Structure 1
Amino acid sequence: MPSKPHRFHGILHSARLLEQVLEDRLAPTGVSPRQAHVLTAINELEPVSQSCLAEAFEVKQASMSTMIDRLLAADFISRAPDPLERRRNVIGLTDKGRSKLDAIHKIWSEMDEHIQTLLGAADADSYFRLSAELRGALGGHPPGQRPRPVA
């Protein structure tokens, strides 16, 4: 048995705890954290195909299909034929979906401030920078942005 705990467990646990705080804050909006992330990506990328969204979030088509179905059922998004390629559909925000964006961005700002309060400004800035570096080193990137080439 290892004599020291594995340090990455703190990262996983912190992420889960932060997600719980985020879920609680988003609850009054009727949007989950993952739905909020997808809605903001659709807003930035629309009109966008479901396959492009799956690629942007680095998830399987089936997972994105489930998310799209839930967002359609909630009337947050619409699906229509792509005017440039009739064989595929594109996703866009409905007025109801667009009306959620201000609250989502406000809550995300509150989350940044919450982390700053917990860690202090300098450590929070370091944490955010290192988190972005780790994401990039692992091959991840924000939806809609290309990953940086690996050196």
Structure 2
Amino acid sequence: MSEQADDHQGTSDDLGELFARVARQQRRATLSALEPYGVSPHQARALRQIIKLGPLRPSKLAEQLHISLRSATDVVDALVGAGLLIREPDPGDRRAILVSATPAGIQRSEQIGKVRAEQGEAFLSALDAADRAQLRRILQVLDRQPD
């Protein structure tokens, strides 16, 4: 590989910074897209997970989302306050609670899913089909790495 081509490739530090910069752009776009729905990306993720898995204890939600129990509790509190989740006693252990989505929570999650898909499409519109396929393949490789 020539020096010029090597310079064009950049260092892994440059690539890491570029990746972080693009991730920040995507996050800002997502925050903006979700603003009218009154939920954060973390809350939207939690809502989606609860709908997918059914009623969960907050500790199980924390485990699923790879966040602390305290963070999961904050997310649940916000979603309950917005009327998107409800807390109910766990029939298997009356001392514990389960959280589940309300009909409004399911509807909101569906709306958010559509908005996120549209926002993602707009964000990736600069890429042609071949570039998207390559990006998907690369991200899947990175996603399979252990935490």
Tell me the TM-score normalised to structure 1 length.
0.82
* Higher Cα Rg, which structure: 2
Q: 2:79 aligns with which of 71, 75, 79?
A: 71
Residue 72 of structure 2 is aligned to residue 55 of structure 1 = no
Unaligned runs of 5+ in 2: 1-9
SS in 2 for 1:100: helix
Aligned twin of 1:31: 39
Residue 109 of structure 2 is aligned to residue 101 of structure 1 = yes
In angstroms, what is the RMSD of aligned CA positions? 1.8
**What percentage of aligned pairs have identical amino acids?**
29
User: Quick one: which amino acid aligns to residue 106 of structure 2?
Assistant: R
1:92 deviates by: 0.3
Aligned twin of 1:121: 129
Aligned twin of 1:8: 16
Deviations 1:60-106 (A, max 9, x none): 11111111111111111111111122221111011221120221111
User: Quick one: which amino acid aligns to residue 72 of structure 2?
Assistant: M
Instruction: Tell me the matched-pair count.
Output: 137
In structure 2, distance between residues paired with 1:16 and 1:130: 18
Given that 2:79 and 2:85 are in contact with CA atoms closer than 8 Å, whether structure 1 keeps it comes out as: yes
C-alpha distance 108-129 of structure 1, shift in aligned 2 (>3 A): farther
Deviations 1:87-127 (A, max 9, x none): 21111011221120221111121133124312222212222
C-alpha distance 42-52 of structure 1, shift in aligned 2 (>3 A): same
Q: After the TM superposition, which parts of structure 1 deviate over 4 Å for at least 4 consecutive aligned residues? A: none
Tell me the TM-score normalised to structure 2 length.
0.84
Given that 2:33 and 2:116 are in contact with CA atoms closer than 8 Å, whether structure 1 keeps it comes out as: no
Greater share of helix residues, 1 or 2? 2
Residue 146 of structure 2 is aligned to residue 111 of structure 1 = no
In structure 2, distance between residues paired with 1:111 and 1:128: 17
